[in-house]
């Protein structure tokens, strides 16, 4: 094995936005692997590892060859007879060929290469592999400037663009510095540590060897590993929360962000005045998170404690300034939140209804006042169909968007719905009404819960349906990766609510028709087009729901074609079918169902079966089974009966020729199969079982 070395590259920048760190590191990895592959310097793929901190993007590549392998290539020239004259001396042509490849004529061999009819001049050239150091010096500036930077910037007088100004480059290949330059910054063997470190040590941090990179940086106050920073923050938070008898209100995304905005973390626990505990929990959690990137602490019952946890970008808080500073700022924030809350409470929520006409929902679908009217129409009709209180549905719907006009939602858009519900609760609205308003945007994610109350489910359906059907009715249909209004998520939410609530009175398409009515003139596409597009959209959503619910492929494939207008029924059939998913008899049943489908393809069998006409024992047995099956009322019993049918069906096909000469016998046999098939289709299309 040839000699291998390790590459270390670190770009030291001004603070890089947290959200770009990970994508940038991954983008470079991909570009580097392409480069290494093309130049054959990374046999076996090597080992690539990356780290990053707010000011650093760093990559380590182990297993790089010190030099490219030599490249051996064979060149075929003119035929031998043209290169040598009668006396065996080189001709003009022969000499030119040698010259072209820079070799002595004597080095030419004459042999017959594959595909040639006669011997030709052949040379074998060995191109020496280039030192990897040179390749890197050429490639790295190109790879770095080629990175995909979503919001690139210029600085100073240069035209160079990057995510933030690059202030230092550390680049070692083994013991050597890779000699290259980017926008006037020369690669070197040193870098910079934490700003606190350099207050006492103005000189850069020397990295004597690649292995010393992480430890030297740690000495200079930077934990360059994201994972280590994240783990440290999580552990400190847990301990600090436990000290005051609570636990951290989990938020994985916020934890990621914190680990991305500090170079050496420590967590401080602060306290806020108990007077602010009167604010709704959601307001406190959101205010702490959005403004201060801080975590809340709750007790074992989920009640908040008057503490918060903030991550600082240094290992300690020597004078307590960080704690008191964060407390001070938080107090100002909460003061503002309370101002919004109290101001909002001064006006009854519903007083904002009229002003919704000034708030655009969608250019083509009108204002939020119009949307509210449509939601109200859908929600009250739907509530009636489900046997819920239509009056309450109407008042919840009319109130649903009013909180978009409150100061609190203006400040924290993610509190929409939640604030409306809170304000209504404080105005003593009936429980089902304020709860419905609070739950109207659920489920907010694939894993998140659906509305807990039935009226909440109704309102959530009405809101999502109006958006979804409205967009389809003006031709805004999601395609490929384009789904700016998250219509797929709305569709999945609708299916999940129906599915989990077990509501069988209405199906997705019927709901769509319900939502299409109040759109009136706003719909610009023909109704039949809209419904057709919605049907195929919802078939995909329902199919996806079956997958998420974990049913086997055979169950999903055979249950769905029978129908999905009633999701509760579909769910019941899937549950019943799942008991037989591994049953070999059902595989046989599937084969038979396919045969039946083929036989009946061009026939018009009668619904009336005259069993007396049947002659063979095998068909008479089938007819008996049929009458038992037709009498069974629930899915499970029917399926158990069908399982028993697989044997008799096989026997039937072995013994009986369906399409016989005698027309009346033939008619009876076709009717028998037709009635069997109709019975199958009450639960599943078994021809799709496999």
Partner 1 sequence: MHVQELILRLQRYWADRGCLVGQPYDVEKGAGTMNPLTFFGALGTKPWNVGYVEPSRRPGDGRYGENPFRLYKHHQFQVILKPSPAAVQDMYIASLEAMGIDLSKHDLRFEEDNWESPTLGAWGVGWQVVLDGMEITQFTYFQQVGGVDCRPVTAELTYGIERICMFLTGIDNIFDLTWGEVKTDQGVFPIKYGEVRQREEFELSAYSFEHADLEFHWRLFNDFEKEGWRLVSEFGHYLSAYEQALKMSHAFNVLDARGAVSTTERPGIIKRVRDLACACGKAYLANEAAKLSQEEKAEVAR
Is 332 among the residues that bind partner 1 (CB under 8 A)?
yes
- Minimum Å gap between C-beta 324 and partner 1 is 8
C-alpha 505/C-alpha 443 separation (Å) is 21
Give how far Cα 394 sits from Cα of 290, 355, 372, 459, 613, Å.
34, 19, 10, 9, 61
Is 328 among the residues that bind partner 1 (CB under 8 A)?
yes
E strands within 128-251? 166-173, 176-177, 181-182, 185-188, 190-191, 205-206, 247-248
Interface residue with partner 1 among 3, 15, 427, 624 (CB under 8 A) is: 15
Interface residue with partner 1 among 317, 583, 616, 650 (CB under 8 A) is: 317
Is 326 among the residues that bind partner 1 (CB under 8 A)?
yes
Which of 299, 313, 312, 305 lies closest to 272 in space, CA to CA?
305
- Minimum Å gap between C-beta 522 and partner 1 is 16
Interface residue with partner 1 among 46, 54, 421, 605 (CB under 8 A) is: 54
Q: Cβ closer to partner 1: 96 or 195?
A: 195
Residue 368, both tokens: 């939020």
65 and 43 in contact (C-beta within 8 Å)? Answer: yes
List residues bridging with 127 in a β-sheet.
71
Stretches 225-233, 311-319, 466-474, 663-671: which one binds partner 1 (CB under 8 A)? Answer: 311-319
Q: Which positions from 536 through 555 interact with partner 1, judged by CB under 8 A? A: none
C-alpha 667/C-alpha 659 separation (Å) is 9
Q: Cβ closer to partner 1: 74 or 271?
A: 271
Interface residue with partner 1 among 312, 554, 589, 673 (CB under 8 A) is: 312
Q: Cβ closer to partner 1: 151 or 601?
A: 151
Is 321 among the residues that bind partner 1 (CB under 8 A)?
yes
Which of 61, 76, 68, 62 lies closest to 29 in space, CA to CA?
61
Interface residue with partner 1 among 107, 125, 153, 444 (CB under 8 A) is: 153
Is 335 among the residues that bind partner 1 (CB under 8 A)?
yes
C-alpha 577/C-alpha 558 separation (Å) is 9
- Minimum Å gap between C-beta 179 and partner 1 is 21
Alpha-helical regions (H) of 150-201: 195-200
Stretches 96-104, 192-200, 438-446, 517-525: which one binds partner 1 (CB under 8 A)? Answer: 192-200
Is 336 among the residues that bind partner 1 (CB under 8 A)?
yes
DSSP symbol at 302: S
Is 339 among the residues that bind partner 1 (CB under 8 A)?
yes
Backbone angles phi, psi at 109, to 5 degrees: -105, 150
Interface residue with partner 1 among 43, 90, 141, 325 (CB under 8 A) is: 325
Residue 195, both tokens: 């700003």
Number of C-beta neighbours around residue 481 at 10 A: 5
SS3 365: coil
Q: Are strands 4-13 and 56-65 parallel, antiparallel or unpaired?
A: antiparallel
DSSP symbol at 488: H
Is 154 among the residues that bind partner 1 (CB under 8 A)?
yes
Q: Which positions from 347 through 366 interact with partner 1, judged by CB under 8 A? A: 358-360
Give the residues lining the site for partner 1 (CB under 8 A): 14-15, 17-19, 54, 151, 153-157, 164-165, 167, 195-196, 199, 261-262, 292, 294, 310, 312-314, 317-319, 321-322, 324-326, 328-332, 335-336, 339, 358-360
């Amino acid at each position: 094995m040839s000699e291998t070395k390790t590459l270390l590259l670190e770009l030291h920048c001004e603070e890089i936005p947290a959200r770009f760190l990970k994508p940038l590191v991954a983008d470079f990895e991909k570009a580097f692997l392409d480069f290494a592959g093309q130049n054959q310097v990374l046999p076996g793929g090597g080992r690539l590892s990356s780290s990053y901190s707010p000011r650093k993007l760093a990559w380590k590549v182990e297993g790089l060859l010190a030099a490219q392998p030599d490249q051996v290539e064979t060149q075929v020239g003119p035929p031998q007879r043209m290169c040598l004259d009668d006396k065996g001396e080189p001709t003009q042509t022969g000499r030119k060929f040698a010259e072209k490849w820079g070799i002595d004529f004597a080095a030419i061999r004459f042999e017959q290469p594959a595909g040639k009819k006669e011997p030709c001049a052949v040379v074998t050239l060995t191109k020496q592999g280039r030192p990897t150091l040179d390749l890197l010096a050429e490639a790295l500036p190109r790879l770095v400037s080629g990175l995909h930077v979503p919001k690139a910037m210029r600085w100073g007088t240069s035209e160079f663009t990057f995510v933030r100004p690059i202030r230092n480059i550390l680049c070692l290949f083994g013991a050597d510095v890779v000699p290259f330059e980017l926008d006037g910054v020369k690669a070197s063997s040193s870098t910079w540590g934490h700003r606190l470190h350099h207050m006492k040590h103005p000189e850069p941090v020397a990295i004597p060897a690649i292995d010393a990179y992480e430890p030297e940086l740690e000495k200079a106050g930077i934990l360059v590993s994201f994972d280590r920073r994240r783990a440290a923050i999580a552990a400190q938070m847990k301990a600090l929360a436990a000290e005051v008898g609570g636990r951290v209100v989990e938020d994985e995304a916020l934890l990621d962000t914190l680990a991305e905005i500090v170079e050496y973390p420590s967590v401080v626990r602060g306290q806020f005045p108990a007077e602010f505990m009167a604010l709704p929990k959601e307001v406190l959690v959101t205010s702490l998170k959005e403004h201060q990137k801080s975590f809340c602490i709750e007790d074992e019952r989920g009640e908040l404690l008057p503490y918060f946890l903030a991550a600082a970008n240094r290992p300690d808080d020597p004078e307590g300034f960080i704690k008191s500073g964060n407390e001070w700022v938080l107090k100002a924030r909460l003061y503002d939140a309370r101002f919004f809350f109290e101001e909002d409470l001064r006006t009854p929520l519903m007083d904002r209804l009229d002003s919704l006409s000034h708030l655009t929902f969608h250019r083509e679908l009108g204002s939020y006042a119009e949307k509210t009217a449509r939601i109200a129409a859908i929600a009250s009709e739907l509530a009636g169909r489900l046997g819920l209180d239509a009056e309450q549905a109407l008042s919840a719907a009319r109130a649903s968007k009013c909180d978009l006009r409150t100061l609190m939602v203006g400040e924290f858009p993610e509190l929409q719905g939640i604030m409306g519900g809170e304000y209504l609760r404080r105005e003593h609205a009936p429980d089902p009404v304020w709860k419905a308003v609070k739950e109207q945007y659920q489920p907010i994610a694939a894993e998140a819960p659906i509305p807990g109350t039935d009226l909440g489910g109704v309102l959530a359906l009405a809101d999502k349906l109006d958006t979804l059907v409205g967009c389809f009715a003006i031709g805004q249909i999601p395609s490929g990766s384009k789904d700016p209004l998250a219509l797929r998520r709305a569709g999945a939410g609708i299916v999940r609510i129906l599915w989990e609530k077990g509501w069988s009175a209405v199906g997705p398409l019927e709901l769509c028709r319900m939502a299409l009515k109040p759109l009136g003139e706003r719909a610009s596409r023909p109704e039949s087009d809209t419904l057709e597009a919605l049907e195929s959209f919802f078939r995909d959503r329902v199919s996806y729901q079956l997958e998420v619910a974990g049913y086997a492929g055979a169950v999903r494939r055979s249950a769905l074609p029978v129908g999905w207008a009633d999701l509760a029924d579909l769910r019941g059939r899937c549950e019943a079918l799942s008991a037989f998913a591994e049953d070999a008899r059902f595989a046989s049943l599937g084969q038979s169902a396919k045969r039946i489908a083929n036989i009946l393809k061009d026939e018009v069998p009668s619904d009336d079966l005259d069993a007396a006409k049947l002659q063979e024992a095998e068909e008479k047995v089938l007819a008996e089974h049929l009458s038992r099956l037709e009498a069974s009322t629930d899915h499970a019993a029917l399926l158990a009966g069908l399982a028993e049918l697989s044997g008799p069906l096989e026997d039937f096909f072995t013994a009986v020729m369906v399409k016989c000469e005698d027309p009346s016998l033939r008619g009876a046999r076709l009717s028998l199969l037709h009635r069997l098939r109709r019975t199958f289709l009450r639960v599943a299309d078994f021809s799709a079982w496999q």
